[in-house]
Structures are given as C-alpha cells and as structure tokens.
C-alpha cells in the first residue's frame, strides 16, 4: 500500500499503526488530543483508571514491540510472577497458577512507551487533527478528511486503507450512513458499572506483591457482601494504583474518605495499603453503562478500504481487563488479512471474520459473568441456567486447585478460548476437586 490512515492514536490506533508499518509506505495517525509526556490526554478519561494487561495482551505487546517489557521495567514498571500475582474470590485466595506473570504499570506509562516506539518507526507519522469524514471512490474508501484541533481547516489524506480506532464513541457509523451505507448491527448489555481509581505511595508494606485482585463469586451471589470488589497493582514511580468497582446503586464515588473506608472492607492487601500508604492526588471515577460490540459480519454491504479496531469494534466490561488485549488481537487479525494482499476495492470481510472471532470469545466470557449480577437483565443466551450452574462450579473448583485454576485463568487471560472449559477431562477433574473438598 502507498498510504494507510489510522483515525485515533490511542492504544488500538498505535497497535494498528505498528502492524500497518509492515504493509504501507506511509502510515498517518490522526489524533486530535494533545497527549502529554505523562501519557495523559483530555479526550480519553479512562486513561486515569487502573489498567491490567492480560497475559495474551502482554504476549502481543512483546511480539510487536520486542524488548518493551525490559524498557518498561527499567522505567519502574513491575513484573509480577507466581505469588506476586494474587486473585481472590469471595475473600479467599485462589490456588496459585504456576508460571503466572503480570505487568504492573499505569495505562499512560504503557501507552507512552508504545507511542515512542511507533513514532520511532521510519514510515509512521502522527498528525494532530480530528478526522471529520471519509472520501469515497465508488464502493471503497479512498481518503480521510480532517480538521485542526481548534476547528480550523485540515488536510485530506488519500488512503489505500482507513482504520477506525476512534474508540467507543467513534463517529464512523454516522459518516457511513451519510454516504448511503448501513449501520453495523450492535450487540449490547446494560451493566451500569462504576469505577474509581486512586494512587498511593508504595513502600514495602506488601513485600513483592504486584497484583491483588478480588471479586465476589458464587458464594456471595456475586454481591459485595463478603468483601468489596477491588484490585491493586504496583506501578512505576513507587506507587500503587487501586481501583474499586461497583454496580448500579453501589458505584464508588469520588470522596477520598469513602474510598479508604471501602478499601478497608476489601481483601487484606487493599486493607493494608489503605492503612499504611498515603493517597496521592484524588479519586477519579468513571461510569460505564453498557458493553457494546458492532458486528460487521452481519452487514450485507460494507465499503472496501476500511477496517475498525479497538473499542470502536467492541467495548466490554472493563472489570475483566480485556480491552487492550482485544485491541492488540484485532491488529493481529489486520496483519493476517494484509498478508494475503487484499484488494482495497472489496470489503475486508476476512479481517472482520478474524477480529470478530476474537471478540466472540471475550464477549461470551464477559457477558456470561455480567448476567450473574442480579441487576443485569439480559439478553440471556440459550441454556443460560445450566451454563451458569456449571460455570459457578468451575469457579469454585478454581479456588481450590492449581490445575483447574491454570486453565480457568488461561481463558480469563484470553490465551485459551472459552470452550477450553468444556473439555470432559477438565470437567471431571473439577468435579473431583469439589467432591474431595
């Protein structure tokens, strides 16, 4: 390709730019936000919230940016292994998973490293502008129009491929409709989630702990009755990033005193940090009303020369930490699609099939877990009650047994598809674990 234009220069856009740099002479990343050296911008407030990177996301990061883990660790990020990574369910520490690894870093720090790497590629350039529409030539996209951040005149970029990485509220669908195309069908699930994140000074109060994550499970009916749901990660700058989450009437607020009181109703590591470590700055809240995915494979018509990645494709309940990994995997799918040298004149159906297969797994997992929340009212898949009963038993067995938990976490970490949990031998082992207690 001569030129690919990526609309949106956040995590998914940067990943896509990296993949495209292998296939296009010139890659232009159009991003209106002034993202500072601290990695924080104005337009994506979720950057302030605790971000965990699933192990599949970490593998993809290292695959496309070799050596980035070492760079992150040199800069102060932490790599937790074995017992440094702790998951709790209904207040009980889950069986350890041999070989478990998790990175502790804030989202801006991680994204900042990604941005520097991408901007260092010889054929990628960032343009501070807002994408305002598409230029069509027949049934294909042939360019992207932009305006300056303040609203002034911008450039029009010719493009062999345009990539929508404009996030959850991407205007792409409106642009398509304006040109006579249909909106992609949307699957949604209303979850009414509240998030609150605060940073704390980190000393040696928790030894080598890098991640502690606690959620309610079957024993409490998935309600915060035994402990409050929350998580912490050790991050760069000798800090803890701590998040509290709650649904509907139990959403955490911005009051620091309330945040500390709630942390003291969490599992041990969060209680210890609340008592031992000073909070830095205030509490940032975020409300996430609905998980949502756009399903382009259900469209009869779609223009050539256009793909959608990241949250613009699927934006799921952040509690399961899938977003960054989905963004990376969509870029993988894009790489696989482009290796077949597709014509820009035909819709990128292969890409959407590959990307949506990945989203299917994440969506199945996150929405099944969300349906266990009493306030979530559907839509329920066929056979939901039986599936939930089995999932609850597997979850209970994963607390007790390392082998069961290893596979369970393999699915959570998106290394294995959800169907890995239906293997007969695995189910038999889980049953034995529960019978033996």
Decide: is 147 part of the binding site for ligand FAD (CB under 6 A).
no
- The enclosing H or E element of 148 equals none
The contact mask relative to ligand FAD for 240-279 (x = CB under 6 A, - = no) is ----------------------------------------
* C-beta of 274 vs 312, nearer to ligand FAD: 312
Decide: is 166 part of the binding site for ligand FAD (CB under 6 A).
yes
- Of these, 19, 21, 32, 209, which contacts ligand FAD (CB under 6 A)? 32
Shortest Å, Cβ 429 to ligand FAD: 29
Backbone angles phi, psi at 170, to 5 degrees: -55, 135
Decide: is 80 part of the binding site for ligand FAD (CB under 6 A).
no
* C-beta of 65 vs 195, nearer to ligand FAD: 195
Q: Give yes or no for a contact between 9 and 32, defined as CB atoms under 8 angstroms apart.
A: no
Give residue number: closest CB to ligand FAD. 323
Shortest Å, Cβ 88 to ligand FAD: 17
Cβ atoms within 10 Å, residue 35: 22
Q: Give yes or no for a contact between 303 and 181, defined as CB atoms under 8 angstroms apart.
A: yes
E runs forming strands in 44-129: 78-81, 85-89, 92-93, 101-104, 124-127
Q: How far apart are CA 269 and CA 273, in angstroms?
A: 6
Site residues for ligand FAD, window 168-197 (CB under 6 A)?
168, 171, 195
Q: Choose one: 221-229, 308-316, 348-356, 362-370; the region binding ligand FAD (CB under 6 A).
A: 308-316
Decide: is 51 part of the binding site for ligand FAD (CB under 6 A).
yes
Shortest Å, Cβ 280 to ligand FAD: 19
Which of 73, 48, 77 shows the shortest CA–CA distance to 242? 48
Decide: is 10 part of the binding site for ligand FAD (CB under 6 A).
yes
Decide: is 288 part of the binding site for ligand FAD (CB under 6 A).
yes
Q: How far apart are CA 135 and CA 140, in angstroms?
A: 9
Token duo for residue 206: 């928790």
Backbone angles phi, psi at 197, to 5 degrees: -125, 140
Backbone angles phi, psi at 64, to 5 degrees: -90, -20
Decide: is 327 part of the binding site for ligand FAD (CB under 6 A).
yes
* C-beta of 251 vs 337, nearer to ligand FAD: 251
Q: Say how many residues touch ligand FAD, by CB under 6 A.
A: 37
- Of these, 24, 189, 206, 324, which contacts ligand FAD (CB under 6 A)? 324
SS3 category, 234: strand
DSSP state of 204: S
Which of 39, 45, 29 shows the shortest CA–CA distance to 77? 39
Token duo for residue 195: 């998030």
First to last CA, the chain: 59
Q: Choose one: 6-14, 275-283, 379-387, 397-405; the region binding ligand FAD (CB under 6 A).
A: 6-14
- Of these, 167, 218, 305, 347, which contacts ligand FAD (CB under 6 A)? 167
Token duo for residue 393: 């038993």
Q: Choose one: 58-66, 71-79, 154-162, 309-317; the region binding ligand FAD (CB under 6 A).
A: 309-317
Q: Which residues bind ligand FAD (CB under 6 A)?
A: 7-13, 30-33, 43-44, 46, 49, 51-52, 130-131, 165-168, 171, 195, 286, 288, 310-312, 318, 321-325, 327
């Amino acid at each position: 390709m001569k030129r690919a234009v990526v609309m949106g220069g956040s995590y998914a856009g940067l990943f896509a730019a990296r993949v495209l740099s292998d296939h296009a002479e010139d890659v232009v990343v159009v991003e209106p936000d002034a993202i500072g050296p601290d990695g924080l911008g104005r337009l994506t407030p979720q950057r302030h919230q605790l971000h965990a990177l699933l192990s599949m996301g970490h593998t993809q990061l290292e695959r496309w940016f070799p050596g980035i883990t070492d760079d992150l660790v040199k800069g102060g990020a932490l790599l937790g292994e074995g017992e440094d990574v702790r998951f709790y369910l209904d207040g009980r520490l889950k069986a350890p998973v041999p070989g478990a690894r998790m990175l502790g870093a804030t989202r801006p720090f991680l994204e900042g490293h990604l941005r520097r790497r991408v901007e260092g590629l010889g054929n990628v350039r960032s343009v501070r502008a807002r994408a305002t529409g598409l230029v069509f030539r027949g049934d294909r996209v042939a360019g992207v129009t932009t305006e300056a951040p303040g609203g002034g005149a911008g450039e029009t970029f010719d493009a062999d491929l345009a990539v929508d990485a404009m996030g959850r509220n991407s205007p792409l669908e409106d642009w398509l409709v304006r040109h006579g195309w249909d909106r992609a069908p949307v699957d949604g699930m209303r979850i009414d989630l509240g998030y609150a994140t605060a940073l704390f000074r980190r000393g040696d109060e928790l030894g080598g702990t890098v991640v502690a994550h606690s959620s309610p499970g079957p024993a409490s009916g998935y309600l915060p009755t035994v402990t409050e749901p929350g998580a912490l990660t050790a991050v760069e700058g000798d800090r803890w990033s701590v998040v509290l989450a709650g649904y509907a009437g139990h959403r955490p607020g911005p009051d620091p005193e309330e945040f500390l009181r709630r942390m003291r109703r969490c599992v041990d590591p969060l209680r210890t940090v609340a008592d031992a470590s000073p909070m830095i700055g205030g509490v940032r809240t975020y409300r996430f009303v609905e998980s949502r995915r756009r399903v382009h494979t259900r469209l009869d018509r779609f223009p050539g020369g256009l793909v959608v990645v990241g949250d613009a494709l699927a934006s799921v309940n952040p509690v399961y930490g899938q977003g960054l990994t989905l963004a990376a995997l969509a870029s993988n799918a894009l790489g696989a699609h482009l290796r077949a040298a597709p014509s820009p004149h035909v819709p990128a159906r292969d890409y959407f099939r590959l990307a949506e297969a990945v989203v299917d797994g994440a969506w199945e997992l996150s929405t099944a877990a969300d349906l266990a929340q009493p306030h979530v009212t559907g839509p329920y898949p066929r056979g939901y009650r039986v599936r939930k009963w089995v999932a609850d038993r597997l979850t209970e067995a994963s607390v007790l047994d390392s082998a069961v938990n290893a596979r369970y976490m393999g699915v959570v970490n998106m290394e294995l598809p959800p169907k890995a949990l239906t293997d007969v031998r695995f189910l038999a082992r889980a049953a034995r674990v529960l019978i033996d207690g």
